Amino acid sequence: MATLLKELPSFSTLLAAYASISAMAMLIRSILNEMVPEKMRKYIATKFTELVSIHFNSDFTFVIEDRWKAADNQIFRAAEVYLPTRVGPSSDSLLVGSNDPNDPTAPIKRSIPPDCTITDDFEGMRLKWSFSSIETKKYYVPNKRFFSLTCKKSDREKVEKKYFPYITKIAQDILNKHESLNINTYDQECSMWESAVFKHPATFETLAMEPELKQFIMDDLDAFVQRKEFFENVGRAWKRGYLLYGPPGTGKSSLVAAIANYMRYDIYDLQFQSVRNDADLRRILTSTSNRSILLIEDIDCSTNVSRDRAKPKEIVEEEEDDEPGPNRSAFDPGVTLSGLLNFIDGLWSSCGNERIIIFTTNHKDKLDPALLRPGRMDVHIYMGYCTPAGFRKLSTTYLGIKDDKLFGSIDDLLKSVEVTPAEVAQQLMISEEPKVALNGLIEFLNMKKNKVEENEAEEEEKSSKEKEAKKKKKTVERQNSMQAAETDTRCIYLT
Ligand SMILES: Nc1ncnc2c1ncn2[C@@H]1O[C@H](COP(=O)(O)OP(=O)(O)OP(=O)(O)O)[C@@H](O)[C@H]1O
């Protein structure tokens, strides 16, 4: 120990060394000042400060808000899906719940509560997540929600380039695999989409439609999914619009459910009455997720949206006055057609991918031609009355039979009576015994046929009576005018 102490330099030696180093530093500094241009010196100084701060002040925080430039923030969404899978022993709380009323034993769903902290490890980095929600007092966005992700400053680039794409991919995989679909309805009070589990039995298999039309729709959906690159190359938003039209009870809603089940897409069911104005509409629509169906049912009932702009305003007002009921809603929405169309194929349409937009209507003729223009709604599908092929599908689904000797008479009746698949389905549900149900259906169809024939006969009688009355009126008028002419002539003669 004593030898070791002896070998240490003395205090005066250290002082001398410090003095000479300082002198050397000053000398180097003045040489640098003389020789290196100011810009270069500043650059070196900044780099040096950066290097020091990286080593000594090591934390960096990413703030990920739920909205990004008027649209849903996809990194936020990815984090929302990904983080519940990373809840480990270090986390102190977790939101759990279940929203499947049909299955109380369904696995619980997890979500991150406010102020909860989650630690994640990725390629040697330690990443700390926390979630916060603050009130904004703005009616259209009552809460601002955001995640904070803290990492080492030196890891910042790696987080941006590798970690974010990684969690986005994992979240997408989770969403693709999730078993249950959701149906979202817009809650005007909270300005949020309310989600519920969507379990609808309708599939393309159960739909009573012409097989060719069914196949056409399925092929169209398949082609849509596979054409991501095509849409990018031609500079179009990756969307597909379907207009389903036809009388009530012909299966428009069932087709929407079948499309959702086929594509495994969530549904966003939008009631126009709940939209305040165009700005509100934009916000609502941009907070829907990719791989989803935006459904607007009975579009003809939203007068502002469906009004035929080709007609003069006075005519439209007159028509509306004549026609109370669903077409003239007490809650006329504040949304305009242009607001809706701007979203469908305007600039807003580029927000999001893999979207299907479905409009349904019972009165296609009442829709604005601008809504029907080619390119707006890509496919128009007519859902018509029950055909023999449709009936066969319904009998397979409801009675479990593909053929019966009563089918022939039912086919004949279906060719002459307009009956909806909903009506046929209702008759088939009357009994589990096929014979009873089929005979019930025949009776129902005959009753309908007789009613139609009676109505036609009545109409014919009415119109022939009207014709007769018109004829009589004309004869009387002619006689009166002849008499008048005679009187006039007499008068002229007399004068
Ligand atoms: N084409 C169909 N195939 C199978 N079932 C159908 C079909 N059409 C109607 N149905 C049956 O009738 C019920 C009502 O049909 P749905 O609500 O789909 O008709 P819609 O055309 O949407 O009617 P609305 O215009 O009144 O909304 C469904 O629950 C379904 O059971």
The domain spanning residue 308 has which CATH number?
3.40.50.300
Instruction: Classify residue 439: in a domain, yes or no.
Output: no
Distance from the alpha carbon of residue 248 to the mean position of ligand 1, in angstroms: 8
Look at residue 116 and tell me if it is in a domain.
yes
252 and 373 together in one domain: yes
Does 224 share its domain with 356? yes
Distance 383 CA to ligand 1 centre (A): 10
Centre of ligand 1 from the C-alpha of residue 205, in Å: 14
For residue 208, give the ligand 1 atom closest to its CA.
3
Domain-ending residue, one of 122, 152, 179 = 179
The residue whose C-alpha atom lies closest to atom 25 belonging to ligand 1 is 248
What is the Å distance from ligand 1's center to 421 Cα? 7
Residue nearest to atom 24 of ligand 1 (CA): 248
Find the 309 Cα to ligand 1 centroid distance in Å. Answer: 31
Cα-to-centroid distance, 377 and ligand 1 (Å): 22
338, 358, 382 - which closes a domain? 382
- Does residue 133 sit in the same domain as residue 202? no
pLDDT score recorded for residue 29? 79
- Distance from the alpha carbon of residue 325 to the mean position of ligand 1, in angstroms: 22
Ligand 1 atom nearest the C-alpha of 207 is 3
Q: Name which residue sits closest to atom 26 of ligand 1, judged by CA.
A: 248
- Asked if residue 79 belongs to a domain, the reply is yes
Q: Are residues 164 and 267 in the same domain?
A: no
Mean pLDDT, consecutive 10-residue stretches, the chain (495 aa), reads: 64 82 84 78 76 71 85 86 83 75 71 84 92 73 82 92 94 78 84 85 92 94 86 77 94 96 92 80 82 89 53 46 41 65 64 83 86 81 94 93 92 92 94 92 93 85 86 84 62 42
| 349 occurs within a structural domain | yes
Ligand 1 neighbours, Cβ below 6 Å, are 206-209, 248-254, 362, 383, 421-422, 425
| CA–CA separation, 183 and 291 (whole Å) | 13
Nearest protein CA to atom 16 of ligand 1, as residue: 251
Question: Do both 100 and 146 map to the same domain?
Answer: yes
Q: How many folded domains does the chain comprise?
A: 2
The closest-lying atom of ligand 1 relative to the alpha carbon of residue 394 is 4
pTM value is: 0.67
* Same domain assignment for residues 251 and 124: no
Pocket test for ligand 1, best of 199, 245, 254 (most atoms within 8 A of CB): 254
Task: Indicate if 173 and 241 belong to the same structural domain.
Answer: no
299 C-alpha to center of ligand 1: Å? 17
Q: Which atom of ligand 1 is nearest to the CA of 425?
A: 11
Q: Residue 333: exposed, middle, or buried by beta-carbon count in 10 A (0-12, 13-18, 19+)?
A: buried
Same domain, 211 and 96: no
Ligand 1 atom closest to the Cα of residue 206 is: 4
pLDDT score of 57 = 64
CA of 159 to the centre of ligand 1 (A): 50
- Same domain? 206 vs 329: yes
Same domain flag for 300 and 163:
no
Residue whose CA is at the smallest distance from ligand 1 atom 12: 422
Determine the atom of ligand 1 nearest the C-alpha atom of 209.
Answer: 1
User: Are 199 and 319 in a shared domain?
Assistant: yes
The protein residue with its alpha carbon nearest to ligand 1, atom 30, reads: 422
Task: Tell me the three-class secondary structure of the chain, residue by residue.
Answer: CHHHHHHCCCHHHHHHHHHHHHHHHHHHHHHHHHHCCHHHHHHHHHHHHHHHHHHHCCEEEEEEECEECCEECHHHHHHHHHHHHHCCCCCCCCEEECCCCCCCCCCCEEECCCCCEEEEEECCEEEEEEEEEEEEEECCEEEEEEEEEEEEHHHHHHHHHHHHHHHHHHHHHHHHHCCCEEEEEEECCCCEEEEEEECCCCCCCCCCCCHHHHHHHHHHHHHHHHCHHHHHHCCCCCEEEEEEECCCCCCHHHHHHHHHHHHCCEEEECCHHHCCCHHHHHHHHHCCCCCEEEEECCHHHCHHHHCCCCCCHHHHHHHHHHCCCCCCCCCCCCCCHHHHHHHHHCHHHHCCCCEEEEEEECCHHHCCHHHHCCCCCCEEEECCCCCHHHHHHHHHHHHCCCCCCCHHHHHHHHHHCCCCHHHHHHHHCCCCCHHHHHHHHHHHHHHHHHHHHHHHHHHHHHHHHHHHHHHHHHHHHHHHHHHHHHHHHHHHHHC
ipTM above 0.85, yes or no: yes
Number of the ligand 1 atom closest to the C-alpha atom of 397 = 4
Does residue 409 sit within a domain? no
Distance 397 CA to ligand 1 centre (A): 14
65 assigned to some structural domain: yes
Is residue 267 within 8 A of residue 295, CB to CB? The reply is yes
End residue of a domain, out of 131, 146, 179: 179
Nearest CA to ligand 1 atom 10: 422
Cα–ligand 1 centroid distance for 330 (angstroms): 26
Within-domain flag for 38: no
Instruction: Please tell me the distance from the alpha carbon of residue 417 to that of residue 446, in angstroms, as a whole number.
Output: 9
Dist CA 302 CA 270 (whole Å)? 12
Domain with 172, as residue range(s), is 59-179
For a pocket test of ligand 1, which of 245, 253, 383 has the largest count of ligand atoms closer than 8 A to its C-beta?
A: 253
Gap from CA of 210 to ligand 1 centroid (Å):
15
The residue whose C-alpha atom lies closest to atom 13 belonging to ligand 1 is 422
Same domain, 336 and 294: yes
Tell which atom from ligand 1 comes closest to the C-alpha of 422: 12
Nearest alpha carbon to residue 391 among 431, 424, 348, 366: 424
Burial of 95-116, coded b for 16+ CB within 10 Å and e otherwise, reads eeeeeeeeeeeeeeeeebeeeb
Ligand 1: residue whose CA is nearest its atom 6: 251
d(CA 276, ligand 1 centre) in Å: 30
Q: 125 is written with which tokens?
A: 């980095």
475 lies in some domain = no
CA of 427 to the centre of ligand 1 (A): 14
What pLDDT does 317 receive? 46
Query: How confident is the model at residue 331, as a pLDDT?
Result: 44
